[in-house]
Structure 1
Amino acid sequence: MASVASAHCPWLYVTEDSHPRLFFGESLSDREYHLPEAVSAAEVWQTGIDAPKKRLEMATIEEDGFVGLESEDPIEPRGRLQTTIEYGCYHGTKLLYYVQHLPADNPSAWPDEPADGALQLQLDSEGDELVVSAVWESAPLAGATITLTHERGDAKDKLTSKTDKAGVARFPLDEVAEGLNGLSLMHVDKNDRGEVDGEPYTSATHYLTATFNYHQEAAAKVSALPALPEAVSSFGAAACDGWVYVYSGHVGQAHDHSRENLSSHFRRARLDGTGDWEELPMGRPLQGLPLVTHGGKLYRVGGLDARNASGEEEDLHSVADFAAYDPASETWTDMPPLPAGRSSHNAVVVDGTLYVVGGWRLTGDNQGEWQAGALAFDLDVPGAAWRELPEPPFKRRALAVSHIGGQIAALCGMTDDQDLSKKVYFYDPDAESWSDGPEYPGKPFHGFGLSAWNLDGDLYASGMDGFVYRLNEDRTAWEKAGESVTKRFFHQLVPDSQGALLLVAGVSPDQGHLATTERITPQAAKTP
């Protein structure tokens, strides 16, 4: 048999406009070889996502530089693409191909669960190494040679590593090329005998190709924390005493609201990125709620409860829940409820007072009652009650709330006219008055589901355009202070306790729900 490095094999990858492609070539750069009949009939699936696996509709295309199959529709580049192809008999052996592609740009977004098929590779990164685990019929495959190549190389430009007793092979990450890389493996089962279409065979040869994209700078940014066990958006998050906490949120497909699509988890991870996510005692599953911290405790305020099952007519209710979590005792304590149910709002604590701004109230199948008033609760005063603030000059939901110079900042969001706003407002607790701030940069939809945080006295915000902005010193304009690898909204900004910001999970307009966290170290402020 020819070695796997020089044999023609099927390969999967995704184009720049997010269309999956399958071709049959000797290497990642050999994309004009004709398609064998068995390969042209391949069924390509997208799996490892927070939704049922999906079969892609593929069509044959022939163009300059490429002959193969291409998906008719673009995909969200996440999870795993895979296909298994039974080629038939070849010189007395049965040929089977296992093909997979990891479309995410960084290792922390690669799926944890194994792919389908008897022969599979599981990819991960540990420190400065690419870790590849080979599995044959659900057991580690020891002594297998795995070959690493890249799309700019040819069949001779390769690096090999052999799996240990645990089926694990390792490659230095500095040997992994920028862009598209490929891994290949051949396993011969000499005990497999039978016939294919009446033609006998005395062994089975299993080829596997796995492709992935790698960008060193992106991987460094997005490896700030371990990936969450589930991709999530519209959740509560806060940093407290060296930990980042994530409460509930929306999982599954966008705009699909049901009990099943509310995360039933409350988790924390160390801000320094060491260790895994820890499960904590959970309260009611909710989305569209803030989580804030004060005095070593965490507080969740309001949120949205979905009472319908998946596929049923939506039955959504904003709740008035207010509860405190004590990490020391690992217990929740009920606090005085909000005056009315509220969700899609936001909150911040300033000088011991919790401020709640924006949101609406859903009560089943209605269109929602917008919450015009802002609220305050004195966390340091025993027996405190909610009090109304002077009514804001706006109605917003999916907004960000933070603070600057002792004033409350309310940023952007959706208006009660279903428009998206770039407006920013400040509330002065001493003067008990609202004032206008500088408009948020970019297009109006960049401020929908954005997040904001005061880091070391400066106000930062990030939204769907992928930039992190800082309010300038005289509070008249916003300036760029960083850029994320993955554009995201309905995420959360939290400090990492080392002068940087963490962008936690959320939704990407390209990739859907996210489980990754990015670390952004703000650029220095511009000098006049």
Structure 2
Amino acid sequence: MRMTNIGHDWADRKMSKRLVCCVWVLVALVVSNRASAHSLWLASENSAAGREAIAYFGESPSDRTYHWPDRWQQLDVALRDGGQQKSLKTVIRDEAEFVGRRGTDALPARGTIETQVRYGVYHGTLLNYVAKHVWANRREDPRAKDAEPLSLEIVLVEAGGPGTVVLQIVRQATPLAKAQANLYLPSGERREIVADERGRITLNEIPAGLLGVSVSDKRDGEVGVWNSESYQSVTNIATMTIEMPAKEGRQIVSQAARQELPVAISSFGAAVCDGYLYVYGGHQGKAHDHSRDNLHAQFLRIPLARIGQRDGAWEELPMETPVQGLAMVSYAGRVYRIGGMTAKNRAGDDEQLYSVDDFSCFDPSSLQWRSLPPLPQSRSSHDAVVIGDRLYVAGGWSLMGNSDGKWHDTICTIRMGEEGAQGEKSAQWRSIRAPGLMRRAVAAGQLGGKLVVIGGIDNSGAVSREVNVYDPAKEEWTMVASLPGEGMNGFGVSAWNLDGRLLAGGSDGVIYALAAVDSDWHTAGHCAESRFFHRMLPMSERSLLILGGASRSGHLRSMEHISWLESDLSGN
């Protein structure tokens, strides 16, 4: 890969305080190999259009909002592809959560990208940057045979399994013994590490997420002139980022979906149907204020393909009763609304809260609602899931004008189907006893054809992480491994089955996965923003949207796009 030379314009520009700070950080980097300093980083993110390359200038792989150097008005990024180097186009972006360059071409499911760029002369040293990024690969893709050696690079020798990585520091194709480097863990922690005599660094027990490594090498006595400025040394700075997989040889990559809900809401209904995301009702305002004014009175949708796009806009649809604490599912091209809580009081008045027994169907083709057989009892703060051709509703309580609700100890189910056959109008609800399951603010999911009810809060006010499983074939209940976590985790959790695994996430920000009902939960990834009373829904066969909900700072508008990818880091 050739070195990109950018014209020297630094002295001709009026530097802001931010840029002056950047320069002083570079001084620290030149003086000490161990200093935490701004470097050039490459990484990749998933968007609605696919995985895209990103380049940014920050102190760590997670620092993505620092000023992009003015002199880097172009950047040559190469994708290694079957022993060839494919050039990738990037464009400058200055966004709320990202400042740098974004690729315009979709990346493959796995690969290696790299760039080498000259910064210029500063304080007598010539600064060069090399950045690389590897995702979903056991090792780096080969470079082109005629490619010149990089001035300094970090090489992914091998990833022997989940959490294990072998790296090598190389200068001009020669291992750099005892090289000092900075390690940036997915948690954000920075550590100082030293390579062995072969320039190798072996890392173990690295958690899932983006791992970063940086190293610098100053060579005194190398003199010359660049852009009419003389230098007495050369400093090469190399970085690498690697997407580390979760324990089962898969990885989850999270980033902001660059799309927000129109309003910050929690306890809402949401579903994905035929390429659209639908959002209904929910709670808005302060967490414990309940009134008609705190009910989000909108039914909205947006095409999944438009999420994060400039022309992505929410469409308002016909609204029925404004409620919160409802469940929503999709089936056979329609969207179904189940239960919820409404309020009769205005803000500031005594609370008059009522659970409803509504069961309604929205037809996207006609944009009309149709009432269906009501629930056996009014119910809110529950969840629902479709398994086969049956809808299951679990958890929740019934509020009747005051805060002392009646807790449900049953689940209910109804057969879904086409009109005229086993149609919704002729179908009847069936109530099923649920021993040990008297909880609300639960998540309902399915795994292996079984209903899985996760967490919640019980009628004594205790947060629960218990997991109850109902087998429809045997009509039996069992208890399985509890959801991990502590404190409030389990309360207001959300879940979805993705690629044969049940994923669940709550207030601790961890995404847990259950591969089978008789197995243990394992950590599959982390959300960028911890939340509860949110929704977790499919973006594609192997990616999720996590949207809305509440955090310690209040209700959220934000959405995250989580990708669950096959990874060769555990073997080919």
| TM-score, length-scaled by structure 2 | 0.55
Q: 2:560 aligns with which of 500, 514, 518?
A: 518
Answer yes or no: is 1:176 the counterpart of 2:99.
Answer: yes
Identity %: 40
Which of 451, 475, 488 is the matching residue for 2:531?
A: 488
Equivalent residue in structure 1 for 2:286, among 248, 253, 257: 253
Mapping of 1:13-412 within 5 angstroms? Answer: 172-173=93-94, 176=99, 221-224=254-257, 226-272=259-305, 273=307, 274=309, 275-380=312-417, 381-382=422-423, 383-412=426-455
SS at structure 2 position matched to 1:227:
strand
For structure 1, list consecutive stretches of 5 or more residues without a partner in the other structure.
12-25, 31-105, 109-126, 131-148, 162-169, 179-214
Q: Distance in 2 between matches of 1:376 and 1:474?
A: 21
Q: CA offset at residue 171 of structure 1?
A: 5.5
Name the CA distance, whole Å, in 2 between partners of 1:400 and 1:150: 35
**Which residue does the alignment assign to 1:422?**
465
Tell me the distance in 1 between the aligned counterparts of 2:526 and 2:481: 20
2:254·2:563 contact (CA, 8 Å) conserved in 1? no
User: 2:378 and 2:14 mapped to 1: Cα distance?
Assistant: 62
Aligned to 2:484: 441
Query: Deviation string for 1:17-51 (max 9, x for gaps)?
Result: xxxxxxxxx98999xxxxxxxxxxxxxxxxxxxxx
Equivalent pair of 1:226/1:276 in contact (CA under 8 Å)? no
Distance 2:65 2:463 in 1: 44
Gap change, CA 1:504 and 1:158, over 3 Å in 2: same
Letter in 2 for 1:425: N
Shift of 1:172: 3.3
Letter in 2 for 1:389: I
Displacement of 1:522: 2.6
Q: Distance in 1 between matches of 2:345 and 2:22?
A: 47
Quote the Cα distance in structure 1 between the aligned partners of 2:396 and 2:560.
27
Q: Is the 8 A contact 1:446 1:465 kept in 2?
A: yes
Give how far 1:475 is off: 3.1
Q: Secondary structure at the match of 1:260?
A: helix
- Counterpart-to-counterpart distance in 2, 1:268 and 1:408: 28
Counterpart of 1:363 in 2: which secondary structure?
coil
1:306 is matched by which residue type in structure 2?
Answer: A
Aligned-partner Cα distance in 2 for 1:370–1:481: 33
**C-alpha deviations, 1:269-295, integer Å up to 9, x for none?**
122224211111111110001100111
Higher relative contact order (CA 8 A, sep 6+): 2
Name structure 2 gaps, 5 residues minimum.
1-12, 25-44, 48-52, 57-63, 74-90, 102-187, 189-209, 211-252
Shift of 1:311: 1.2
TM-score using structure 1 length = 0.60
8 Å contact from structure 1 (residues 224, 518) kept in 2: yes
- Counterparts of 2:67 and 2:365, CA distance in 1: 54
Q: Following the alignment from structure 1 to structure 2, what is the Cα–Cα distance between the partners of residues 332 and 284?
A: 11
Q: How many equivalent residue pairs? A: 351
Once the two structures are TM-superposed, the CA of residue 498 in structure 1 deviates from its matched residue by: 4.0
Cα distance in 1 for residues equivalent to 2:22 and 2:570: 47
| Partner AA of 2:296 in structure 1 | S
CA distance in 2, matches of 1:5, 1:463: 47
Question: What SS does the aligned partner of 1:226 have?
Answer: strand
TM-superposed CA distance for 1:225, in Å, is: 5.7
> What amino acid is aligned across from residue 285 of structure 1 in structure 2?
P
CA distance in 1, matches of 2:258, 2:323: 23
